[in-house]
Structure 1
């Protein structure tokens, strides 16, 4: 299973069955859009970058407290579980967590290599991020009908791409989520005729962790 943590305002991911594929220059880690060649560092040009390589970030863990805090609006959001073996998600690649940065010294920088090098950069992160257990799915590895919906705070175009309804396996709701979010999610699932289990997070009574209890959707 692969999981996507989302804040409550991103209910559109379920309502519209479309998810954002992000370019490197829209990420909050500055190491993700630069590379080493020998002893020199080169960063992507914020003006000239083509933003051709885009991906969606996913996790192999749905119970990580930091992930719920950082990416699901301090436990007020939700987490979608996607089927890893679904043809849409099966090409997701694991991020490599490292202490030292790779050097591209001696690499042949032909035009055909540009995307491969960019993907290599995108799949390598500092070991500090290892708690995310991240996998990244690249837009050019899925059936794509991308469309844009404006710009993000970094000034980059926001690209969404449809995903198949049947790839959703289940949904988890955060500890602090409002009842309105539960109702909206159930309404969105019914709109697409999806019979998907929804679980609500609860505090573990004897350790720092969360457990999940199935929600009775019939009462909504």
Structure 2
């Protein structure tokens, strides 16, 4: 299965050259309502809301999508059409293994709703859910209860975002039951943080790139731009290269295949 990630120009170049992926802390997402699906609590339940926020702050999230041809996504996340969309093969343990993800890719479809259901859960259950985000997976029944709450918290957004067709992977930020060295020892957990991008962690695991789409205004589509390193990499890794074009007969975007050898000839 292939899922897609929209990038700006500079961040897209970095992602293509490293073939790594970045996860974000939810409080650094562009939507201030992010992960607030469980915020509808009764008056006087501030301690419960605080526990919900602790759960939210204990994870990082990767956001992918099912389509590379969404005009709104290109405008919002593709650097006003100057960036890239990268198609990743997600049939690997990094995305799918529940040992390393609180929400694996196969369970990560975002649910869109117009309403917030009042939260009807005790603080003790929320506390256990918080512990589970830190690695304390216990009985199958407790894991089942955690999954129910986590899906509602991590995978619910307002219906205005339905155009994104979002699919998520949710990973724990750390573990209270492992040393930092042990946590970082496995490539599915090992990461670096970038000081200039708040809340972003770049995982060291490299991923198979299947498709790369250049935005309508992407500078690399111009000749004489010194892009030899990227095009040679695309040719070596056998990426399918396409450029996004406007459909003159509609308000839609479409793609046109680029020959990597042709792109190399521009250098």
Q: Separation in 1 of the partners of 2:24 and 2:51?
A: 15
Aligned ranges 1:139-178 → 2 under 5 Å: 139-140=171-172, 143-152=188-197, 156-165=198-207, 167-178=208-219
Is residue 197 of structure 1 aligned with residue 240 of structure 2?
yes
Structure 2: 5+ residue runs without aligned partners?
Answer: 97-103, 134-145, 173-186
8 Å contact from structure 2 (residues 3, 90) kept in 1: yes
Q: Separation in 1 of the partners of 2:257 and 2:245?
A: 11
Aligned ranges 1:109-188 → 2 under 5 Å: 109-114=125-130, 115=133, 116=146, 117=149, 120-140=152-172, 143-152=188-197, 156-165=198-207, 167-179=208-220, 180=225, 183=228, 185-188=230-233
Q: Separation in 2 of the partners of 1:64 and 1:50?
A: 28
Classify 1:53/1:75 alpha carbon distance in 2 versus 1 (closer, same or farther; 3 Å): same
Is residue 101 of structure 1 aligned with residue 119 of structure 2?
no
1:130-172 C-alpha deviation (Å, 9 max, x unpaired): 00000011235x92211112153xxx4421113434x211111
Structure 1: 5+ residue runs without aligned partners?
Answer: none
8 Å contact from structure 1 (residues 15, 189) kept in 2: no
Q: CA RMSD in A?
A: 2.9
Q: Separation in 2 of the partners of 1:197 and 1:44?
A: 45
Q: Separation in 1 of the partners of 2:52 and 2:92?
A: 35
Tell me the residue number matched to 2:41: 38
TM-score of the pair, normalised by structure 1? 0.83
TM-score of the pair, normalised by structure 2? 0.70
Query: Which structure carries more helix by proportion?
Result: 2
Mark the structure with the bigger radius of gyration: 2
Tell me the residue number matched to 1:6: 7
Other structure's SS at 1:200 match: strand
Q: Separation in 2 of the partners of 1:181 and 1:58?
A: 29
Tell me which moved more, 102-111 or 124-133.
102-111
Classify 1:125/1:49 alpha carbon distance in 2 versus 1 (closer, same or farther; 3 Å): closer
Q: Separation in 1 of the partners of 2:50 and 2:230?
A: 40
